[in-house]
Structure 1
């Protein structure tokens, strides 16, 4: 199991602890790089302030019912983990159930990039909102 990713996910209840596990210039990419007014959990969040904004958005929208890590793999520079979760959307009361994956890049033993993937169609359905993806590959 990827200790750095698991430790980070476990630390999200204590942002002071979470800050110790990321670089000062960390980038969080939540599903899509661009942000949307209707779905503020999408977007790119940078640095310690970005960590706080990212986690605050999760807390504002999701009442986590279950969160499981099923698999992970880590090297000195890269880490991957995947699993499944169930959240209840606070604004709609609807369930959001998805498999998820995260890819992390590490620098100096800390997370420098955190890129999270989930079933965005299921999220948009649960939140009652739609977006258009305009990202370039």
Structure 2
């Protein structure tokens, strides 16, 4: 149980750093050899948010894409639970899409696999249809 609690702390630290705008700490949460899947597991153009990112250098692009796309109005973590090195979190958010000024409102679920005290695998799911709608000009 102690290891599960340590793994929950890794994810909590990630969320706290993001909410405090500490981007270097956010990036440091990721393992050097990480895999990030944002909504769909497929290749993506560099500036596209949804898709697959591999390695810590691409994790930096993932974070930049979020910061470039959204002005976060609300981000709530409802629960974080772990079993061994698997951590699930869920909540809700309200982002203003910078390009359109429209609100993107969604519930979300995140699965993280922790290795060496870092996020090795990160899968984030949100209402992608709401994102498309809020991004439409």
Is the alpha carbon distance of 1:62 and 1:19 closer, same or farther for their aligned partners in structure 2, counting shifts above 3 Å?
closer
Q: Which runs of 5+ in 2 are unaligned?
A: none
User: Which protein is richer in helix relative to its size?
Assistant: 2
1:6 aligned to which of 12, 36, 39: 12
Provide the rounded CA distance (Å) in 2 between the counterparts of 1:74 and 1:30. Answer: 20
Q: How does 1:107-122 map to 2 (within 5 A)?
A: 107-122=115-130
TM-score, structure 2 normalization? 0.85
Q: Give SS of 1:40's match.
A: coil
TM-score, structure 1 normalization? 0.85
1:100 pairs with 2:100: no
Provide the rounded CA distance (Å) in 1 between the counterparts of 2:52 and 2:33. Answer: 12
Q: Which runs of 5+ in 1 are unaligned?
A: 130-137
Provide the rounded CA distance (Å) in 2 between the counterparts of 1:107 and 1:121. Answer: 32
What's the RMSD between the two structures over aligned residues? 1.8
Is the alpha carbon distance of 1:123 and 1:35 closer, same or farther for their aligned partners in structure 2, counting shifts above 3 Å?
farther
Note the C-alpha offset of 1:91: 0.5
Q: Give SS of 2:95's match.
A: strand
Provide the rounded CA distance (Å) in 2 between the counterparts of 1:92 and 1:25. Answer: 34
Q: For the Cα contact (< 8 Å) 1:76–1:109, is it kept in 2?
A: no
